[in-house]
A and B are shown apart, each in its own frame.
Chain A
């Protein structure tokens, strides 16, 4: 076998390839998992999980889990947002039929945190539960 004009044995190339694969396997994998998507709808002054009719549902996450919340505002004449004050994450304020999203990492400490719509905190708030598996 000839590489760049030099004669190299097939066995040597195979051994080198095996060594490279073995070294690559030992390196830590640095790829990040894709965030879990939670789709919410704001209507009638409440949050709803897309396709359900439970107002301000509990959202369960794992410690440190990456979450992407997609919010669609279906409340005609109202501006809403989605905010988790504990992690300082929030969507923009959304008007009727607008869609927004925010990606955040859940708190590491298990417990119950709050998610809210900042202009309507009294009526639009729910629990973000951080639970270990």
Chain B
């Protein structure tokens, strides 16, 4: 399994936990994490936005077909062993990750918020962490 955190500052405790889980999946052969350009900080909040790209391991199979509908041919086809939907189910079953807040055919999205109140302060600030998981085709 290849792990590429070169584009990630390391911010985001949920992202870190999620990535550690993804690294243990046999069906994933690449995990790349990047800071999203939308990360920003204000007096009231710290918005951390990360993007995680995963590539699923692929297996080959030989399929029979007919060239121009006449000549019998055999082709080698590479197919991923997992889909984003399968990944969603696997992650949903993990206690420290859970089901995504949003999922479609191309992305899983987690949104986590946490209020931090430093010592001697009453209001504190909010950490908002947005993680989007995309399926890397190539």
Q: Contact residues of A with B, CB < 8 Å?
A: 43-46, 55, 76-78, 122-123
Contacts and interface: CB of A to CB of B under 8 A. Distances in A.
B109 A77 contact: yes
Contact of A123 (B37, B45, B107): B45
Contacts of B107: 76-77
A46 B42 CA distance: 12
A123 B36 contact: no
A55 B42 CA distance: 11
Given A76-B104, A76-B107, A45 B44 contact: no
B101 A77 contact: yes
A45 B126 contact: no
A49 to B, nearest CB: 16
Most chain A beta-carbon contacts within 10 A, residue among B37, B40, B104:
B40
The secondary structure that dominates the B interface is strand
A55 B44 CA distance: 15
B128 interface: yes
Interface residues of B, number: 19
Contact of B44 (A43, A44, A76, A122): A122
Interface string B23-64: 000000000000011101010110101000000000000000
A87 B103 CA distance: 35
The secondary structure that dominates the A interface is loop
Contacts of B130: 45
Given A76-B104, A122-B45, A123-B47, A45 B128 contact: yes
A46 B47 CA distance: 11
B109 A45 contact: no
Nearest to B44: A122
B102 interface: yes
A45 B129 CA distance: 11
A44 B49 contact: yes
